[in-house]
Amino acid sequence: MTPQRTGSCGFTLVEIIVTLTVSSILVVLLLQFLGTSVSRSAQPLEAFRQEMVLQSLMENMNADYKHLLLTDMTPLDTFKARVECNHYGSYTVLTSAFITFNDTTHTEIPCNPTPNDCKVLKIAIASGDHSMTALFSR
């Protein structure tokens, strides 16, 4: 006596084809989403690296200016010349100018470069897409 089959055991060919089609569509969608996420995942790290390079440059400038205050007769003039000739590394100088502030409007205005009148030097530097500004005074 042989046992008789009463019902289906397994999947039909149509069910297998539909399952493979749906799963392949889902895999393609997932890969497209993850592909852009993975390829752009380095952008925040690169932006952070550029920001840290800029911060390091500004720290070096600050340390050098503090040293110039103790050793140089005209620290702001010497410091301005060093910044403008990229003495501290690779950066773009956006602003290197003596400024003063209007007493009534509290806005910055250019300072005439006469001796002892200009006591604030505005330095703005850029590296990559980032920029940083600092004020140095006597």
Q: How confident is the model at residue 124 (pLDDT cuts 50, 70, 90)?
A: very high
Contact yes or no for 64/82 (Cβ under 8 A): yes
The reply to whether 123 falls in a domain is: yes
The reply to whether 27 falls in a domain is: no
The reply to whether 11 falls in a domain is: no
The reply to whether 65 falls in a domain is: yes
The reply to whether 25 falls in a domain is: no
Strand order in the sheet with 130-137: 108-110, 92-101, 120-127, 130-137
What is the residue range of 119's domain? 49-137
The reply to whether 7 falls in a domain is: no
| pTM over the 0.75 mark | no
Q: How confident is the model at residue 9 (pLDDT cuts 50, 70, 90)?
A: confident
Cα 138 to Cα 117: distance, rounded to the nearest angstrom? 11
The reply to whether 68 falls in a domain is: yes
Residues whose CB falls within 8 Å of the CB of residue 118, separated by 6 or more in sequence, listed in order: 76, 98, 99, 100, 111, 112
Query: What's the pLDDT score for residue 1?
Result: 58
